[in-house]
Chain A
Amino acid sequence: MTLNRRDFLKVSGAGAAVALTGCATQSASTAAKGNPHVVIVGAGFGGATCAKYLKQWGPNIDVTLIEPNDKFVSCPISNWVLGGIKTMDDITHGYDNLPKRGIKMVKDYVVGVDTAQRMVKLKGGSSIAYDRLVLAPGIEVLTDTVKGFKDAEAAGKVVHAWKAGEQTALLRKQLEAMPDGGVFVMSVPTAPYRCPPGPYERACMVANYFKKAKPKSKIILLDGNPDIASKKGLFMNAWNTYYPGMIEYRPNNAPFAVDGTKMIVSTEFDDVKGDVLNVVPRQRAGEVCAMAGARNDSNGVWCTVNLATFESTTVPNVHVIGDSVLSNLPKSGHMATNHAKVCAAAIVELLAGRQPDPIPVVANTCYSATSDTTSGYVANVFRFEAGKGYVSAPEGGATAKGDELNFAYNESWAQNIWAEVLG
């Protein structure tokens, strides 16, 4: 019989006490196989960045990155594909460089997490042991919350396209096939949701396409929120300046049902008919977080973490980064890369038995295109303060108007962050 980690800690008789100092992990792993092992689930903006920086800052750490998809498809810039100014190829990137950094890539789905034994179970049948686990699954879209959505989605009639990929390509095809004079109906989920400015940028990109290709068309934006949730000035300016009369904005209009045959979205006020329907349901932390017992906020929707280390507040040795985290930080790809860096630094220190940085810093930079030549941004730096969490530094905020220079920076930002995450 081999001594598993739980038995090891029992034998050592001090599991709980040493775990607080971070030494338990090191001694257990050293006893087992030499190098400490970090397993990361999800190779998006957060997970891939965390893997890269763990190897950079902790060369002695073995890093395994589990990802079911062959390619990385970027949500940022996917609205530009819908607007016809970028292609699916532009936002699709390979994982070829990550193994060159010493990261072990495993293409599989996680089907279970045993946090007591520190084991991740894979769909393929194997299990992987970890010293620390990082969950970076992104969002799970709550398709059940809009009646009829699942059937309409399965039939290929209505998509959310809130995870970039096949649905992005399908929505673009639907927009291309729509006749001039048609109506595009899009819904915005109630906050918090992935990418707060995303729905309003999408409206801009589709409007930019309609203006050029089918100028009699209309856009109806059904917003579950009481007002534009992000960069309001920037988007209002763009809608009034570039697309006057094209975009009808209806706040407090969360859809409860969609009919993909009659092509109707229903809110408590209206049945709204459209030629292309894009319903974006509410979201929660990815399913793997629930498997680990980390989807632990009061509604069982998001994950609460120690924001200085991104370790779950309820499950030791399990960290959660990116959109799945409940915090005051915006759910953006850029922010996920910043979670990843703070988390990687903390794990390096914890595995070495040292104190993690007590004052980590994260920054968010989020560009949104308002036309095919203009963009604006929102930017904030957040500094961690004990007892307070992340506090926004002064002078953070958004531009009131898009321009060409920021469009150039928007494109450059995308190239650079993709290189930062995957290069």
Chain B
Amino acid sequence: MTIKTIALSLAASAGFGLAGVASAADLHTQAISATCMSCHGPGGKSLGAIPSINGLDKDYFVKQMKDFKSGARQGTIMKRHAYGYTDAEFEAMGAYFATLK
């Protein structure tokens, strides 16, 4: 377990962000998912050439992010972004984007 994941689980166990938020996703997950939306559009819904990521199947989302990171899936910019997040965050973001219609 890395220091980052320890910090993450400490934050989660402290109940960080769980109360007072409409969605089931914790605020760390919502905030890191919001970093995606500056390119992919509000709620992950793109208006143009950049693919939409709202409503994707969670497992599909997680596999794409892992494949971008490993290089198994070639893209333009996504490898650089995929390296910025942990596998646990891929899972959390995938679960969150699956709920966005």
Contacts and interface: CB of A to CB of B under 8 A. Distances in A.
Interface string B11-45: 10011110111100001101110110111111000
A409 interface: yes
Interface string A369-395: 000000001011111000000000111
B89 to A, nearest CB: 8
B28 A359 contact: yes
Interface residues of A, number: 49
Interface in A390-406: 393-397, 399, 405-406
B83 interface: yes
Interface string B81-97: 11111000000000000
Given A355-B14, A357-B28, A420 B38 contact: yes
A341 B46 CA distance: 19
B1 interface: no
> Helix, strand, loop or mixed for chain A's interface?
mixed
A314 interface: no
A417 B4 CA distance: 29
B48 A342 contact: no
Contacts of B35: 338, 341, 361-363, 381
A249 interface: no
Contacts of A377: 76-77
Nearest to A393: B84
Contacts of A416: 37-42, 46-48, 50
Contact of B76 (A57, A60, A342, A405): A405
Contacts of A355: 11, 14, 16
A147 to B, nearest CB: 39
A419 B41 contact: yes
Nearest to B89: A361
B8 A359 contact: yes
B83 A396 contact: yes
Interface string B64-87: 000000000000110111111100
Nearest to A396: B80
Contacts of A380: 80, 84
A348 to B, nearest CB: 7
Contacts of A365: 38-39, 77, 81
A413 B47 CA distance: 9
Interface in A25-48: none
Nearest to B22: A59
B47 A57 contact: no
B32 to A, nearest CB: 5
A363 B17 contact: no
A393 B84 CA distance: 5
Nearest to A351: B20
Interface string A338-371: 1001100100110010110111111101000000
A264 to B, nearest CB: 41
Contacts of B21: 57, 348
A349 B77 CA distance: 32
Nearest to A403: B76
Given A357-B17, A420-B37, A393 B31 contact: no
A305 to B, nearest CB: 17
B28 A381 contact: no
B50 A413 contact: yes
Contacts of B38: 334, 337-338, 363, 365, 416-417, 420
A13 to B, nearest CB: 28
A357 B12 CA distance: 10
Given A345-B17, A416-B50, 19 more contacts: A345-B28, A345-B31, A349-B16, A349-B27, A354-B17, A354-B19, A355-B16, A361-B85, A363-B38, A365-B39, A365-B81, A381-B35, A395-B80, A396-B84, A412-B49, A415-B47, A416-B42, A420-B38, A420-B41
Ranked 5 nearest A-B pairs via Cβ: A381-B84, A412-B48, A416-B41, A393-B84, A395-B83
11 contacts: A57-B21, A334-B38, A365-B77, A381-B83, A381-B85, A394-B83, A395-B80, A395-B83, A399-B76, A412-B48, A417-B39
